[in-house]
Amino acid sequence: MRKLLMAAVLSALAVQAHAAAAPDTLAKVMKSKELLVCSPGDYKPFSFDNNGKFEGIDNDLVERLAQSMGAKVKIVKSSWPTLIADFKSKCDLGVGGISITLPRQQQALMSEPYFTNGKTPLVRCEDVSKYQTAEQINQPHVRIVANPGGSNENYARTVLTSAKLTMHPENLTIFNEVAEGRADVFVTEAAEAIVKTHEHKGVLCGVNPDKPLRPAQNAWLIRDNDFRFKAYVDQFLRLEKLSGGLDQTIQRWLPR
């Protein structure tokens, strides 16, 4: 009997310790009236730093999420190589067109997906027929370019291993490497390929963005073990889908 009682006490203490250690972002945000959001801010149409004002699909959505908690959004600018570390140390949420990957899920929770995306070649328009498949790109004579720290670099290094890879330090000017002939292909996400095709009409073209080389989904980073906040964010996204608000926001920022 004494052993059973001791086991029950230890179990209760373990539950209390776990509860104390688990974050409660929902309570924190509702008390502080501030939602701290990490974003690289270099990825149209999701999140883009427009002279200090962050704009895009994710920014519109997190503003409404914060309003539902009676809070204001404070953006913490990050980068793709430091996103996870910045999120863990500084933020309540990580956004900006973040692909769901297993390595990311080893370090944080992720919301349910709100957008279906996928790896898509961005090339000069005259070269569209040359780069329809990963096999056509993965050749020693093909010059590819990638930005560091995200899924684009991972795809280049793990799938396009035979192509000639050059790393470009940031995502804002990487498209010029292809447009100006210093690279042949930049494999990015379908949404970004669509935006850049629109911005560089007749110069850059996304190759079959409706049929990506590797399908993917975008979601938000949530603190590990914070299942209450994840449930809240997931329900917010479900309601956005049901109300049509998500589609309206996507249509606002994604050109067709």
Banded model confidence at residue 18, pLDDT cuts 50, 70, 90: very low
Question: Residue 17: which pLDDT band, with cuts at 50, 70 and 90?
Answer: very low
Q: What are phi and psi of 25, to 5 degrees?
A: -65, -35
Question: Which letter does DSSP use for residue 38 in this model?
Answer: E
Mean pLDDT across 165-169: 96
- Enter the DSSP assignment of 71: -
Question: Any idea which residue has 């230890």 for tokens?
Answer: 10
pTM of the model: 0.84
Q: Is the pLDDT of residue 22 over 50?
A: yes
**How much is the pLDDT for 150?**
87
Q: Residue 241 to residues 69, 141, 246, 249, 250: CA-CA distances in angstroms?
A: 19, 44, 5, 10, 11
Give residue 104's pLDDT: 94
Please state which architecture CATH assigns to domain 118-215: 3-Layer(aba) Sandwich (3.40)
pLDDT band, residue 171 (cuts 50/70/90): confident
Q: How confident is the model at residue 20 (pLDDT cuts 50, 70, 90)?
A: very low
Query: Does the pLDDT value for residue 19 go beyond 50?
Result: no
Q: Flag whether pLDDT at 16 surpasses 90.
A: no
For residue 195, how far is the Cα from the chain centroid? 16
Task: State the helix-helix crossing angle for 245-253 and 57-68, rounded to 10 degrees.
Answer: 150
Residues of the chain with CATH 3.40.190.10: 25-114+219-253, 118-215
The encoded tokens of residue 128 equal 């569209």
Residue 31 has pLDDT above 90, yes or no: yes
- pLDDT exceeds 90 at position 10: no
Summarize pLDDT for 193-221 with one digit per residue, the tens: 999 999 999 999 999 999 999 999 999 99
Residue 145 · residue 178 · CB < 8 Å: yes
Q: Could you tell me how far CA 50 lies from the centroid of its own chain? A: 18
| CATH topology classification for 25-114+219-253 | D-Maltodextrin-Binding Protein; domain 2 (3.40.190)
Q: How many Å apart are CA 96 and CA 78, to the nearest integer?
A: 10
